[in-house]
A and B are shown apart, each in its own frame.
Chain A
Amino acid sequence: METVIDAHDVTKIYNEKKIPVHAVNGVHLHIGRGEFIALVGPSGSGKTTLLNIIGGLDYPTTGQVIINGTNITAMSSSELINFRLHNIGFVFQSYNLIPVLTARENIEFIMLLQHTGKKQRHERVLNLLREVGLEDKINSRPGELSGGQQQRVAVARALASKPQFVLADEPTANLDSKSAANLLEIMAKLNREEGMTFVFSTHDQRVIDKARRVITLVDGKITSDEKR
C-alpha cells in the first residue's frame, strides 16, 4: 500500500520554558492511501495536536512529517499554506464554513484559490453536493443549514480541492447521533467509492466502530493501533 502520511518520531512540547507539556511524545505513524482511520484517546491525550502537525497547521518540536514524499516540517509557514491548499482537506469541529457565502460558494471558494476553471468548478460543486445529499441546499448559507448539513458541506469542501487525504478533528462532536451517523456514512462512502483517505479524531464509540483502523493515544503516545 502506498504511504501518504509518514510521521517519524514526532514530539510536541508546549510551554518548554515553564512547565513543559509533552502533548505528543515520540509518535511514529504510517498511513496508507485509502485508509479510514479513527484517532481516539482521552481528553488532552494529544489528538488535536497530532492532527495539526500531520496537517501542517503546526510544527513539531522534534521529528518529521513526510507527506507523499515531501518533508513538510522543513517548509515555511507560507509554503505550508500553499501545500495545505493543494494536498490536505480539513473538517473541523465547527466554524468550517464562511458564513457569508452559500454552500455552493463555500465549495467554489477553495477551487478559486486553486485557480480552477469556472466550468469545472460548477460541475464539481454539483457532484460533491449530490454526494453529500445536499443538492437542494446549494444556495443556502451556513446559518440556514443544520449542524449536520453544515458538516456535510464541510466534507464536500474538503474534497473539492482533490486533496491527498482529509483530516477531521472531532467532526461529529457538535452533532446529534443521527447526524453523526449520517456524516460518518457519507465519509465511509467517499472512502469506499473514491478511495479518499480519512483520518478523524473522536470520542464517540459509534463513530469509532465505523473506522477500519483505530489508533489510540494516551499522554501523547500511541498505545494501540489496530486494523479491522
Chain B
Amino acid sequence: MLLRIAWRNIWRHKIRSLVVILSIAVGLWAGVFMVAFSWGMYKQYMRETVETHISHLQLHHPLFEEEDREARYVLQSAPSIQAYLDTAAGVRASTTRAVTGGMISSPTTVSGVQVNGILPERENRVTGLASRIIEGGYLNDEVRNPILIGKKLAQKLKVKLKSKVVLTFQDTSGGIVAGAFRVAGIYRSKNSSLDETSVYVHAAGLQQLLGAEGAVHEVAVLLNDDNLSEPFKHSLAVRFPDADVKTWKDLSPELELVIRSFNEYMYIFVGFILLALTFGIVNTMLMAVLERVREIGMLMAIGMSRMRVFNMILLETVYLSLVGGPLGLLAGYFTIRWTGSRGIDISLFSEGLSSYGFSSIVHPELESGYYLPLALMTMLTAIVSAIYPAIRAIRLKPGEAIRKI
C-alpha cells in the first residue's frame, strides 16, 4: 500500500514530477554521452597508436630496452620467431626491425632520432607506414640509400626531397659510424612528436653500417584482436625464452593509465552531474513535503509511524529516479549507438588534439558494464537527496500540523 501511495503521490503534480524525471534523464544522458565520447576518443587513440605505431606485441633482447637500445643487443632468435609468426593463427602481420639511436644532420641542423631499419613490405602491413607519406615515395630505390623522415623533422632540418642527410651512430662493437642518405619520402602521422624522432631506412643498409648482417633488434606483431595480446605474450615468452615479450600496455604504460584513470574520471564526472541533480530533487521533495504538512500530520495522527512516513518520501524519490534513470540511460545508449556507428567529426576543434595523436572523427562508445553502476549511482543520489525532505516530514508534530490552515 505504501508503494501504491508513493507511486500515486508523484503523479499529483504531474508537471513537477516530469521536470524532475526529465532532469534526471537529461543529466544522466548527457553524463553517459560525455563519458562515452571521451572513452571513444581514448579508445581510438589507443587503437591508432597500436595499429600505426607500437603494434600489439614487441619482442626484444632482454637488455635492449634497459640499456638505452644499444645496437649490440641483437635478438638472436628473430628468424625463428618470424617464421613462427608467419604461420601462427591470430597474427594479422608481423615484421622485424633493426633499430638504433643516433643523430641526423643536415647542412644546417643536428637532431637526435631513432633509426629504424625496416623491411618496407612487411612494415607497411604492420604499421601502414606507406599511407602516411605526403611527399615523395616509400623507400623506393630511385635514390641510393633512401631515408624516410617526418614532416616535422624535415622542417627542423630544413631539408626537402632528395636532400642529403647524414646519420651518425654506434655500431655493434661500439665504434662510431656515419652514413649518407637521401630523403626519398616525407611522412606525417597523427603524432607529431613521433614525426620528429623516427626515421626509416632499409634494414639491410642499416645492418651493414652496424656491422651486423641480418641483425634484428625488434619484432613487431599486429594481432587480429587486442584480447589476444596477453595470451600471445605468454605463449611467445614460453616458446622463445631468450626474447623479452611486451604488450602495448607494457610498452606504453601511460595508455594503460588512461584506461584505469578513465574509470575514476567517469565516476567523478557523473558524480558532479548527480550532485547538481541532488539540489533539484531536494528542492522538489521539500516542496512536496511542505505542501502536504496537514496530510502528513493526519497520517501520523491516525498512527502511521515515522519510519513509514520516512519511507514513503524516500519511495517517492526512488520512483522518480526509477523512471528518469532508465530513460536517461536508454537515451544515452541509443545516442551512443547512433553516433558511435557514424562518428562525430570534431575536426573544427581538433587542431590542437591532433598534435597529441587524437583523431578528428570520434566514435563514442561505452561498455555495457558501466550502465548498471550508473543506474545504481542515480538511485543512490535520489535516496540521499530524499533524506533531508523526509526528515523534515517526520519532524512534524501531528497536533500542530493538523491545525495549519
Is B298 in contact with A96, judged by CB distance below 8 angstroms?
Answer: yes
CA distance A55 to B402 in the complex (A): 13
Known: A100-B12, A108-B1. A95 touches B402 (CB 8 A): yes
Q: Does A74 make an interface contact (CB < 8 A)?
A: no
Q: Does A52 make an interface contact (CB < 8 A)?
A: yes
Q: Does A113 make an interface contact (CB < 8 A)?
A: yes
Q: Does B335 make an interface contact (CB < 8 A)?
A: no
Q: Does A21 make an interface contact (CB < 8 A)?
A: no
> Which of B42-50, B146-154, B300-308, B341-349 is the interface stretch?
B300-308
- How many Å from the CB of B11 to the closest CB on chain A? 8
CA distance A90 to B5 in the complex (A): 20
Residues of A contacting B398 in the complex (Cβ-Cβ under 8 angstroms): 57
Q: Does A213 make an interface contact (CB < 8 A)?
A: no
Q: Does B299 make an interface contact (CB < 8 A)?
A: yes
> Which of A76-84, A177-185, A204-212 is the interface stretch?
A76-84
Q: Does A99 make an interface contact (CB < 8 A)?
A: yes
Residues of B contacting A90 in the complex (Cβ-Cβ under 8 angstroms): 298, 301-302
CA distance A212 to B12 in the complex (A): 42
Residues of A contacting B403 in the complex (Cβ-Cβ under 8 angstroms): 48
The residues in A between 169 and 219 inclusive whose CB is less than 8 angstroms from any CB of B are none
Is B302 in contact with A157, judged by CB distance below 8 angstroms?
Answer: yes
Residues of A contacting B399 in the complex (Cβ-Cβ under 8 angstroms): 52, 57-58
Known: A100-B9, A105-B4. A78 touches B402 (CB 8 A): no
Known: A100-B8, A100-B12. A81 touches B402 (CB 8 A): no
Residues of A contacting B397 in the complex (Cβ-Cβ under 8 angstroms): 57-58, 77
Known: A95-B294, A99-B12, A100-B12. A82 touches B305 (CB 8 A): yes
CA distance A108 to B397 in the complex (A): 24
Is B303 in contact with A113, judged by CB distance below 8 angstroms?
Answer: yes
- How many Å from the CB of A23 to the closest CB on chain B? 12
Is A95 in contact with B8, judged by CB distance below 8 angstroms?
Answer: no
Could you say which of B9, B295, B300, B303 contacts A110, with CB atoms under 8 Å apart? B303
- How many Å from the CB of B213 to the closest CB on chain A? 89
Is A101 in contact with B8, judged by CB distance below 8 angstroms?
Answer: yes
The residues in B between 307 and 357 inclusive whose CB is less than 8 angstroms from any CB of A are 308
Could you say which of A57, A108, A158 contacts B402, with CB atoms under 8 Å apart? A57
The residues in B between 278 and 311 inclusive whose CB is less than 8 angstroms from any CB of A are 294-295, 298-306, 308
Q: Does A98 make an interface contact (CB < 8 A)?
A: yes
Is A113 in contact with B294, judged by CB distance below 8 angstroms?
Answer: no
Is B304 in contact with A113, judged by CB distance below 8 angstroms?
Answer: yes
Is A86 in contact with B298, judged by CB distance below 8 angstroms?
Answer: no
Is B301 in contact with A101, judged by CB distance below 8 angstroms?
Answer: no
The residues in A between 58 and 86 inclusive whose CB is less than 8 angstroms from any CB of B are 58, 77-78, 81-82, 84-86
Known: A57-B402, A95-B402. A81 touches B300 (CB 8 A): yes
Residues of B contacting A81 in the complex (Cβ-Cβ under 8 angstroms): 300, 303-306
The residues in B between 1 and 57 inclusive whose CB is less than 8 angstroms from any CB of A are 1, 4-5, 8-9, 11-12
- How many Å from the CB of A114 to the closest CB on chain B? 8
- How many Å from the CB of A116 to the closest CB on chain B? 12
- How many Å from the CB of B292 to the closest CB on chain A? 9
Residues of A contacting B306 in the complex (Cβ-Cβ under 8 angstroms): 78, 81
- How many Å from the CB of A121 to the closest CB on chain B? 10
Residues of B contacting A92 in the complex (Cβ-Cβ under 8 angstroms): 298, 301, 402
CA distance A96 to B301 in the complex (A): 10
Residues of B contacting A109 in the complex (Cβ-Cβ under 8 angstroms): 1, 5
CA distance A58 to B397 in the complex (A): 8
Contact with A along B178-193 (1 / 0, CB 8 A): 0000000000000000
CA distance A139 to B143 in the complex (A): 96
Known: A57-B398, A99-B295, A100-B5. A78 touches B301 (CB 8 A): no
Is B295 in contact with A113, judged by CB distance below 8 angstroms?
Answer: no
List the B residue with the shortest CB-CB distance to A114.
Answer: B303
List the B residue with the shortest CB-CB distance to A112.
Answer: B1
- How many Å from the CB of A50 to the closest CB on chain B? 11
Is A101 in contact with B402, judged by CB distance below 8 angstroms?
Answer: no
Known: A98-B295, A101-B5, A109-B1. A84 touches B302 (CB 8 A): yes
CA distance A81 to B402 in the complex (A): 15
The residues in B between 104 and 150 inclusive whose CB is less than 8 angstroms from any CB of A are none
Q: Does A161 make an interface contact (CB < 8 A)?
A: yes
The residues in A between 89 and 139 inclusive whose CB is less than 8 angstroms from any CB of B are 90, 92, 94-96, 98-101, 105, 108-110, 112-114
CA distance A117 to B300 in the complex (A): 22
Q: Can you show 7 pairs from A to B with CB atoms below 8 A apart?
A: A58-B399, A77-B397, A82-B303, A95-B402, A99-B295, A110-B303, A114-B303
> Which 8 interchain pairs have the tightest Cβ spacing?
A85-B303, A100-B8, A57-B399, A58-B399, A52-B399, A95-B294, A84-B303, A57-B398
Chain A residues at the B interface, C-beta cutoff of 8 Å:
48, 52, 55, 57-58, 77-78, 81-82, 84-86, 90, 92, 94-96, 98-101, 105, 108-110, 112-114, 157-158, 161
Extra 5 A-B pairs, beta carbons < 8 Å, given A58-B397, A78-B305: A55-B301, A78-B306, A99-B295, A113-B304, A161-B303
